[in-house]
Structure 1
Amino acid sequence: MDTLHRRGPAQVHIQSRECDPQILARFTGASFFPERLLGSAIIDTVYRAGGSLLYITAPPVLDPDEQVAYYLGLPGAGHGDARTRVRLVGLDDAGPRWLSEKVLDADNPQAARVRAAVREFVDGRRRDGADVRLNYFEPSAPLERFARELEVPGNQPHSSCIPLGTKHSGRRLFAEAGIPFPEGSAELLHTLADIAGEVARMARAGHRAVLVKLDDSTSGAGLGNAMLDLDDLGLPTGTDDKALTGRVLAALPRATLVDPAITWDDYVRAVEKTGAVVEEWVRDDTLSSPSFQGRITGDGTVEAVSTHDQVFTGHDQSYVGCRFPASAEYRRTLIDYGVRVGRALRERGVGGGDYGVDFLARRTADGWQLLGCEINLRGTGTKHAFGIASGLLGTPATPDGRLVHGGPDGSERVYEASDAIIDPRYKGLRPAHLIRAVTESPLGYDPARATGVVLHTMSAAHDHGKFGAVCIGADRAEATALLRGLRELVDGLADRASR
């Protein structure tokens, strides 16, 4: 039976990123974050599974008809009745509040209408016998309550498990799973004096640079980190412990904060509130930042979903994109370690949902060494890119972490993905402009070859000059060339629009 006509699941998507709203406001175009998974949701739920989708954003998706038609057309098959099974609902609210707060705002009549639309969708699909679920990005107490009201299951770990995603818990879980991680504090630190003492200890042990990390799961993109280069402090090696700690304490305000929008006093208050850990700042010419995306199923099975090498900017602390798959030189170890973390989370009571693990990889005389860096109890920035690529190819990753094209050649596909194709010149461009330019160029995704550019988060381009893309190639060189070609194409589009 054709996938477009088979009765399938029903999904309500409320992709609420629930980090600190003040921090969320500092990410360019952050209010459009919930749109990132639109393409993968349409391809997976509507095209592949023959199901129905209700997708909620705030603000509304720009050029919704064009975007839905674009994603439904990517696989190269006829749409059938698929367009009627996709509904986009938006609230006129571009503020930095969580999407869950916007949707569940009891004082907003527009939010009440959105909730009514959700209930109508859920009740109608349930009467049709569909498996109805609420799909969201990370543990969320507000959305758990909403799911209970709707009498549908959610798809993420319970919000009571959120503390497992903090920096201190992550270090403990790495130790339990037998995974090496950077040298650092064994205990949670709540005062500057405690931090200074730990930094002094590490300086005596020979470490030349350290990171101070706020112990929360809401900072996002490394914005809770402070960087301290001990060589720049001129700490004398012969100083006694008390004097050395005092010198470090005096020097701490000179640490470089990854978040440029806060002061040192702001950071100190955050330390007192959440606590912090100190760890070795691993710096090496060969250093890379691989990540693992996993999932714990409802029956407790730990699944390896994907691996990537992450792309960072801003002191190499802020995520902007990724390359799939992670390097073959350490990918098997990455999968092994990622699954170990999933099992440790399961033992701690995580009953299902997404999780991600970030690592540092450095070359040693004995080969590559992976160090556990951070555990994210949620989907990660790689989720939408992999969802698009695997959905279009119609296959999960192989046990060794590759995507193999299901066509007659059975060849591998890789991709380069960016969440931050950004330029002030792009402001004013609409999704329809981007879609037309890409689909009418040689860069557009070709389902016969299973290569090409797939756009996402396009609504942010109009106001913020920013959008994202997944560039799928038969090899790394092709994927890289596609991303470069996309930038050149949109540069030309923006230049023509400004004339």
Structure 2
Amino acid sequence: MSHPAVVSVQSRECSPELLERLSGSTLFPERPAGAAIVSVVRRGGGSLFYVAAPAMVDADEQVEYFLGLLPEEHEGQLKALRDRVEVGSLDDRSSRWLSTKLLDGTNPAAGELRERIHAFVARERAAGADVRLDCFEPSANLEELAASLGMPANQADASVIPLGTKASGRRIFLDAGVPVVAGTDEFHSVDELAGGITDLVEAGHRKLVLKLSSTEFGAGMGNALLDLGATDLPADREGVRAAVAAALPTADLVDPKLTWAQYAAMITTSGVVAERWVEGDEVRSPSFQGRIAEDGTVTAVSVHDQVLGGAGLTYVGSCFPADAAYRSEALRHGLAVGARLVANGVRRGDYGVDFLAVREGSRWQVLGCELNLRATGTKHGFTMATALLDTVPDPDGDLVVGGSPRVYEASDGIADPSLVGVRPSALIDAVRSSPLHYDPVTRTGVVLHLLSALPTYGKFGAICIGRDRGECERMMRGLRELALALGNR
């Protein structure tokens, strides 16, 4: 029986300018490293070549930490496992995509790294391995790399990337029978946008969210909030349109490093949609993750509740599983969207659907919000949890181990200025020697990730696995206290 061998290139191919502005985002491709090590090497018995740029900080200590999350069967096994993990790094801290750095024909170091990848693939194939290229999202760059390695990437073809825009997502939701928030078509000028917003205002909507439509903008960083509630609007349409146009430059941009003039310029190339701001007795944001197989089969992978910051527009983490009050509806709608993607020519790959769950009284309504034709920020935490627990969700979307439920809370943004300068190895040692460290016997505890962001940005990520939500919250609080104590030494 063949063993798996994985080349992992987790390039997040959003706007390079956005990567430059978003703290520590050039290190996002490192987020799934631990999950890949546990799932491919520890559980899968395979080999892994993980590509990173910039280089992982304390790489050996990080790899050994992840390998050690599950106990060794005998002395010396850890060394054998370590030999099956190869980290290929480039010392490139620019905001270029990881795939661009890797395929840079002018950089001798990139050429040497490509040769190492080819050697890994040749060696593993000769040993009878099933070799795969694991990526975060569709990309022409990654298709070029895949062709050179003689294998497909595991995401959708680059030709279908336009299906992942905000405007396309709205159309696919409607085709799939998924209710959506009241909104506009896609516009490419501020003047057109003012006209579309006027239609929403005349329908009674005064609080709106603007969304740059292109797939280049993730984590809500292409969004802006426009509140016309206090604006004195005239009775005639042209007067309303003029008032909307005058108010647009006052929109509250999620990306604080952008000006309205810059945002307006992006509208011409990216396109923009406007939607009513959803309010109710309670509003949550469940996120569905699905997978499309080569034969067109659509599988539900998970449903999380997203943790949002920045006025509820920016992704900062997730909780698993999503609330049972609306989880089954999110699962049903997520699968329907996957079927529409297949009908539109998507042949394989991850996809995510972000919903809004709105409670009025005791009733929840689930609305389609955004479509992501790629993996999502929930994937690395889910992969780590299911690999450590050695289980997958049951038909209801729950994780159960030996008859006992497991839930988790994940964050990519545990941050404090005092953590700048802290080495990943120091935090690893502190967690290992604390009661928080993941225990493979109780199958609960804390697992770290995104550790290379610590020294420069004072931030890191973690997943807290517990028996219930309260236990996870206590772990996350304890981890923050532990990290702050380390940073304030």
The two structures have a TM-score, normalised by structure 1, of: 0.95
Aligned AA (2:57): L
Pairing partner for 1:188 from 186, 189, 198: 186
For 1:107-186, what aligned pairs fall within 5 Å after superposition? 107-185=106-184
Aligned AA (1:249): A
> What corresponds to 1:400 in structure 2?
396
Q: What is the deviation of 1:329?
A: 0.6
2:230 match: secondary structure: helix
Aligned AA (2:323): S
Matches of 2:27 and 2:193, distance apart in 1: 37
Pairing partner for 1:452 from 445, 451, 457: 445
> What corresponds to 1:69 in structure 2?
64
Aligned AA (1:75): L
Matches of 2:341 and 2:142, distance apart in 1: 21
> What corresponds to 2:455 in structure 1?
462
The alignment status of 1:17 with 2:12, answered yes or no, reads yes
Matches of 1:31 and 1:245, distance apart in 2: 40
Q: What is the deviation of 1:7?
A: 5.3
Matches of 1:414 and 1:175, distance apart in 2: 32
Give the length in aligned residue pairs. Answer: 485
Pairing partner for 2:481 from 476, 488, 492: 488
Q: Is the 8 A contact 1:7 1:50 kept in 2?
A: no
Q: Is the 8 A contact 2:280 2:360 kept in 1?
A: no
> What corresponds to 2:33 in structure 1?
38
Matches of 1:226 and 1:188, distance apart in 2: 15
Q: What is the deviation of 1:299?
A: 1.8
> What corresponds to 1:233 in structure 2?
231
Aligned AA (2:486): L
> What corresponds to 1:391 in structure 2?
387
2:355 match: secondary structure: strand
> What corresponds to 1:211 in structure 2?
209
Unaligned runs of 5+ in 2: none
Matches of 1:145 and 1:203, distance apart in 2: 46
The alignment status of 1:293 with 2:286, answered yes or no, reads no
Matches of 1:305 and 1:481, distance apart in 2: 27
The alignment status of 1:88 with 2:87, answered yes or no, reads yes
Q: Is the 8 A contact 2:415 2:458 kept in 1?
A: yes
Deviations 1:208-228 (A, max 9, x none): 211121110111111211211
Q: Is the 8 A contact 2:62 2:425 kept in 1?
A: yes
Aligned AA (2:96): R
Deviations 1:196-253 (A, max 9, x none): 12212211211121112111011111121121111122224xx111221122112211
Matches of 1:251 and 1:459, distance apart in 2: 42
Q: Is the 8 A contact 1:184 1:280 kept in 2?
A: yes
1:233 match: secondary structure: coil
Matches of 1:165 and 1:197, distance apart in 2: 24
Aligned AA (1:364): E
> What corresponds to 2:359 in structure 1?
363
Q: What is the deviation of 1:76?
A: 2.1
The alignment status of 1:28 with 2:23, answered yes or no, reads yes
Matches of 2:208 and 2:59, distance apart in 1: 46
Matches of 1:387 and 1:55, distance apart in 2: 16
* Aligned-residue CA RMSD (Å): 1.2
Deviations 1:406-427 (A, max 9, x none): xxx4211000111000011011
Q: Which moved more, 1:329-338 or 1:74-83?
A: 74-83
2:448 match: secondary structure: strand
Q: Is the 8 A contact 2:3 2:128 kept in 1?
A: no
Q: Percent identity?
A: 52
Q: Is the 8 A contact 2:281 2:359 kept in 1?
A: no
Q: Is the 8 A contact 1:125 1:132 kept in 2?
A: yes
Aligned AA (2:207): A
Q: What is the deviation of 1:285?
A: 4.3
Matches of 2:291 and 2:2, distance apart in 1: 25
Matches of 1:256 and 1:51, distance apart in 2: 48
Q: What is the deviation of 1:188?
A: 2.0
For 1:257-406, what aligned pairs fall within 5 Å after superposition? 257-365=253-361, 367-405=363-401
Aligned AA (2:193): I
> What corresponds to 2:195 in structure 1?
197
Deviations 1:246-278 (A, max 9, x none): 221122111111111121111111111222111
Pairing partner for 2:464 from 464, 471, 474: 471
User: Runs of 4+ in structure 1 displaced over 4 angstroms?
Assistant: none
Aligned AA (1:379): A
Matches of 2:258 and 2:433, distance apart in 1: 44
Matches of 1:194 and 1:437, distance apart in 2: 55
Q: Is the 8 A contact 2:8 2:51 kept in 1?
A: yes
Q: Is the 8 A contact 1:452 1:482 kept in 2?
A: yes
